[in-house]
Structure 1
Amino acid sequence: MNSTELRHRSVAKSVNDNVSSMTTDVTSTKKDSRRGSTAKSSWMEVWLWRIPLILFYAFWFLFGLLVLRKTQNAITAVRYVKRHGHTVAQEIIENSREFDDLIHMLDVEFTRPPAFLLLNQYALNMTYNFLCNTASLSGVHERLIFVTLDTVSRDELRKMWPDIRQFHWPTPSLYKPFSFAEGPYQTIYLLRANLAVSLLRKGKSFWMMQQDTFWRKNLFELGFEDDMSYDAIFDQLGVNEKSMRTNWVNGANFFIRANNDTIKFFERLSEKLAHWYTPDMGVMIHQCHTWGRPRCAYFPYEMAHSWEWMYTAQKNPPYILQLDCETDGGSKLMQLGKFGFHFVDSNGTCDHEKVQLARERMEAGQIEVRRNIPSWGRLQFKAYWYIVEYILWTPYIGPLLKPYLPLVGYILMITV
C-alpha cells in the first residue's frame, strides 16, 4: 500500500469521525432541547393548575376577613345602641318639657300633618341645600319641623332660616359624624321610631322625610293625607312595577296616620332596633308584608322614586327623587353636586336658577350619569340590588324570602 492510499484513508477516517461527532452533537442538542421544553411545559402546567387554586383560597381568605370585619362592626353597633338608647327612649321624650311644647305647637300652628327631618351639625349643608330646593314650592317650609340634635345645628339653622320650626333634642351620642350601618346611624333611627310612637300616642299624624331628596314638585299637594284606604304610605325601592323589589319600603319619605295599629307598628319597630343589627326599613318591610294591620301602601314611582331612576331611561320624572346611597355620610353633598343637585353657593346663598335648571333637566330626562364615575357606595348598592333582584326572581324561594331578606340586609352587605 503506497503513501497516497494511506493519506486518502486517513482523510476519509477523519471526515467520518467529524460527521459522527457532529451527529452526536446534534442528537445531544435535540435531547437537551426536548428536555428543556418538557421541563418548561411541566412548569407551566403546574402554575396553570395552581393559579385557580391560589385564586380560590385568596377569595375565601378575603371573604373571611370581610365576615370578621362585619361581625365586629355589628357587635360594635349593637353595643353602641344599647349604651346610648336610653337618651332617645320614648319615656324620656314623652315626659320632657320640649315634647310638651312641640305638641302645643302642633295644636296651635298646624292644620295639616307636619313633616319631621332629623339634623345634626354635620348635615347642615345638606339641609341648606334641601331648603333652597323647596323654597319656591308653596307651603312646603310651613310644614317642616327639624329635630336638631345639637346646639350648633339649632343655632346655625335659626340664623340661616329663622322661619323654619325646630324641635331641639340634644343627643350627645349623635354629635359626631357617622356613616351607614354604624352605631350612631342605628341610634338616630331608633330616635325616629321613638319620636313616631310618642307622636302617634298623642293622636298626631305626621310625615317623616330626609334632606337628601330633590323635590321637583310639591308632594303635599297630592292629597295622600286624605286617602283613608291605608294607614301608612311609604316610598318604595325598585325601578318600576316590574321590579322584584317593588313594595319594599325605602323609608326615606313616608306618611303615617295616627291610630292603634300604627302605634303598635312603631312600638315593635323600636323594640327591634334597640336589640337587632338590622335596618329600620327592613323591619318595616317585614311588618308590612306579614302583619294584617296597619294597612301599608306605597307611593307610585311617578310620585316618589330613589336614585335608581337616574340610571333608567329617565321617563316619567317623579315629584320627589331620593338621592341617598352613599355609605360615607360626608360625601353625600359632593356626590349630589356631580349630578347637578347642589344649589347653595360657597357664600351660603341659595341659587334658585340652579334649582330650576335641575327641574328642567329632570323633566327632559337629561340628568347626566354616564360621565360621572359612581362612588364606591353607589357601586356597592347597585351590585347588591342586582343580586337581590335575582334572589327574589328565583321561583318558589324568592316569594318566600321577600318579607324576610331585608331583615339581614346589614349582615349580607359584607363590604359595607
Structure 2
Amino acid sequence: MCAPKDTFYWTDGQATGTDGFAWGPPLHGGPPQPDGAVNSWGAQDCAQQYLFANGAFLPAWPGFVHGQIDDQWCLDTGGPRNKIQNYFQSIFTDYRVFRQKDFLLTLNDLSAQIPFEDIHEDYEFDEFANNLKAMPKAPYLILYDSSNIDVVLNHVCNLQFIPNTLQRLVAVAFDEKSEMILRKNYPEIPNVLINLKPIVDSMDPKKQNRGYLVYTLALVVHAKICASLAARGIDFWSMHQDTLWTQNFDMMNVEDRYPDANMLFDTIGNENPSYDRMRDWVCGATFFVRGNPTTFQFFRQLESYMLSYQSPDSSIMTYLCGHHHYKCEFLPQWMVSSFNYFEGPRENVPVLIQLDGGKKPGESKMDVLKRGHFVFRNQNGTYKNEMQFLNLTIVFVLGLLIFYYKSIYNSIRDRLRIYHFLSKFDGPLAFPLVGNLYLVNIFDISKLVDQVLHLAWYYCKKGCGIVRLWIGPVPMLAIVNPIYAKEILESNEVITKADEYEILFPWLGTGLLTSTGDKWRQRRKMLTPAFHFKVLNDFLSVHDYQAKVFLDQVKQFADSGDEVDLFPYIKRMALDIICETSMGATVDAQNNHDHQYVESVRRLSEIAFLWIIYPWLKIKPIWYLSGYGAEYDRHLEIVLDFTKNVIEEKWTEYQQYQLGAEKKDKRSMVFLDLLLQLRSEGLMNEEDIREEVDTFMFEGHDTTAASMGWTLWCIAHNPDIQEKVIEEVDRIFGGSDRDCTNEDLKQMKYLEKCIKESLRMFPPVPFFGRKVEKDVVIHGNFLPKGVRIILVPLVLQRNPLLFENPNVYDPENFSEEKMSSRHAYSDVPFSAGPRNCIGQKFAMMEEKAVISWFFRKYRISANVAFEDNKILPEIIMKSSLGFPVTITHRMDNK
C-alpha cells in the first residue's frame, strides 16, 4: 500500500532520503529544518505533512468527496497516507515514490522524443480533432492510463449526474487495460476511445518501467495535445490528474505573462484571485480550454518547462486534504439546466462530490446525500436544502401541467402536425434550439444577406420551389420560386401577417400593414380612394418644392467638391413630402437636421429587426435587461407623440371648417383629411386614425428614401447609364426649371427602368411574412394551419436562373422584351396580389420627380467601390456605408 518509511534528513535546506536522492525544497510553505534534523515520516508523506499543516496548497480535487464532519481531521492534521486511503476505501491506486534521479531524467528525455509536430500532423489525430470540432457542443476530454484509472472512474461517476455530459466525453487511453476498464464500467459513452498505446510502445519497445513511464509521459503528451487542439481553434473541457504542473506553472511567471485568465481557460471552483485561480487549474481541476493563439502558446511553453522538471510528484491525497475551506456540495440538475454549466465561461461553480464511498446495502446515491446532509450553493452564495427545493419544484411543475394540460396537449398536437408535413419539404439540417441559424452569422448583419442568398440559390438550382427552414426553434417555409410566390401572394386565404410583425404592433397598431381578415379588407377598401391618380396628381407641386429644397441643401457639396452621404438629406426630404401630402402639415425637416422623428424611426427600425432575428429578445425580461426594450419604448414615445399632435391639430381644424367642397378646395385634400372624414361618419375612431397615419408615415418616407438612395448610388457607379438619364431629362424639360407634370413623368421611361432595376437589386422591404390560418394547397403542396411562410424579394430578384447577371446593375432588365420573357412574379419589390403596397404609385411618382430634378442640375460619382456598400437587412433595407458620393454641377446648367 504505502511507500516504506525511510529516515528523512534536512541538509542545506533540502530534504534528502536514505537513498541519497535530493527532493528539493519543501513545496508551498514550511520553513527548512536545521541541518541534521530527523523525521520519521516517509519522504513523500513528509511533503504532505507540511502541505496539510500550513494549509497553503490551494487546489481542490473535484472528483473526490470532502465530508463535513468525519474527515475534518484530515484537513487539520494530515494523517498518514495509508490511514487516509483505508478510510476512503482505497479508491486510489498506490502511487509509489520515485527513488532515482537518473530514472526521472530518462523519462523526461523520452518525453522529448515525441515532437509536437508528430501529434499535430498525424493523420489519425487530424481525423480525431476534426471529429471533436464537428461536435455540436464542446467535447469533454480525459487523458488517462492504468496508473490513474480509479481517479478517472470516480470523476466520470460524478459527470454522469450532469445531463448529456457523458455523451460528450472523449477518453484518450494510454494502454489497452485502462481503455477496457472504462468501456466496461461506462458502455454508454458513445465516443470512440482513442488509444495512444503505439506512441508509448515506440518510446519503450521493451516495455520496461511501463507504469512510471506512462504516468509521467501522459502529462507531457496531454500538454501537446491541448496545444494542437488550441491551434485548430477547438474549445474543449478537460481534466488533469497531477501536481507535476504546479512548479512549472510558477516558473512560467504566468501572472505577468497572462494577466487575464479568461484568455486561456475557466475553472470549476473559481473563488480565488487571478493567480490562485490559474494555480487551481493546473493542479487537478476540471477546466474549459479556449481554442485561440494565446492558449496555444501557453501550452507549448508549459510543455517545455515540464521536460526539465526533476522532482517526483506529491501524493494525490494532497488534493484531498490541502484545501481547508472547500465545502461539500452537490450540483443539482436544475442548476445545471438553468445556468448552462459545462457550456462555457462560468464563475463560482460548486465542487462535485463522488457518491461511491460510504454506501450502505440497498441505499441509492440520493440516500447517501440525504443521510450526509449535503447542501448546494446558489449563484449568490446562499445555501439551501437540495431535496426540499427539488420536492417543491416537482409539486409546482405537476400543478402547472395539471392546470394547463389541455393547452399543452393542443399545442404539442398542432406542433407535431406541422413538423410532420414540413418534413416533406427539402431544407438544410437543423439542430435543436438553434435550428438553421448556425448557417449564418446573425451577429454580423452586413454578411447576412450574402449568406442567405447563397443558401437560397443552392435550393433554387436543385429545383425547389419551397424550402424548409428553422429560425431557432420556429419552423418556416421559404418561397424561392416565382410560381409559388404568385399563388401565395394572390391567395385570399393566406393574408395574415406572420408573428414577426408583432414587434411593430405598439408602433403601427393593426393598421393596413399589420392587420388581417375583415379589418384589413375593410381598411383597404376605405383607403384606396386616397391613392386615386387624380389625388396623387395634386401632390406633384409638393414633390417639386421639396426637391428644390433638397437641391439647395446639397449645393454646398457641389460647390466644394467634398464627398457627402446623401441618405440623411434624402430621408429628411422624404419626411417633409410625406408629412405635407399625407397630413397637410409642414415639418421643415430639411432645414432642421436634428429632427427627433427621423432619428427615432431609424432606431426603431434597427431594434425591431434585432427582435426578429434574435429569438431570445422575444422573452420580455431579456428584452428589457438587454436595454433594447427601454430604448425602443423611448423612441416609440417620440414617434407616437409626433403623429398624435398633428392629428389633434388637424382634427380641430377639420371641426372648425367642416371639411367639404363648399368650405375647402378639393385640391388641398390629403390622406389625413379622408381619415378625419371617416371619423366624422363614425367609420373610424381616434386610434384607427393613429394606426393608419403612423403606418403611412413610416412606409411613405423610410422605404422611399432607401429606394431613392440606392438608385442614385447605382447611377453614380454607371456613368453611361447616367448620361442616358440626363439625355432623357433634357429631352423632356429642355433645360428649363419648370415644375413636373404628370405627362412629364409618363415620358421618363428610362428613368423608370433605372428605379425598377435598383428596386430589383435593393428592395426596400427585406421580407414578406404570412401565417397560414387554415389548411391550404399551394401548387400541389399541402400547407397545414399554423405554418409560417416567408418570401424574401431579394432571393427572387437576384436569382441567377431568372436574371442573367443578377448582381450587375442593368436597367435593360426592364425592357419590354425581357419582362415578357420571365415570370411576372420574378420581381416583387412592392409585394403583389391583394396585399400589395397601396402607395407604390405615389412612391414611383415621388422618385421620378426628385431624381429628374437632381439630374437637371448635377452629375454624381462615387469613390467607394459598389460592392463595398453592403445591404443591412433591417425593417427597411439600408446600406452599411450610407451613400457617400461626389456631386458636381452640370456645366451646361450651372
Normalising by the residue count of structure 1, what TM-score does the alignment of the two structures yield? 0.47
Greater Cα radius of gyration, structure 1 or 2: 2
